[in-house]
Amino acid sequence: MSNFENSSEGKRLLKAIGLRIQNDLYKQERSVEDLSLDCGVARSTLREIIAGRSNPRLMTLHSVAVSLGYTGVADFLTKVEKRQG
């Protein structure tokens, strides 16, 4: 069985998550540093997620999503999936 994270579909999803965060930060005129302080996630971790090189834990993604104004991780991922599909 293949590892989803390393599959092309998994890599696309991680890139889409990162792009959604980056776009939301741009629209809100916020920096990675602002988001880091707001959600309590290290800047370096956020940068890796935004670059699509990191598979964030569920609670990390939830904290980021809420800090970006989503109701939770499910709301955030719905927006990611709509853009991807």
Domain boundaries along the sequence of the chain: 4-80
Whether the model pTM is above 0.75: yes
> What pLDDT is attached to residue 1?
39
> What pLDDT is attached to residue 60?
97
Kindly report the average pLDDT of the chain as a whole number: 92
Give kind and range of the element (H or E) at residue 74.
helix 73-84
Average pLDDT over residues 12-35: 97
How does DSSP assign 1-62, residue by residue? ---GGGSHHHHHHHHHHHHHHHHHHHHTT--HHHHHHHHT--HHHHHHHHTT-----HHHHH
Pick among 1.10.10.10, 3.40.50.1100, 3.40.225.10, 1.10.260.40: CATH of 4-80: 1.10.260.40
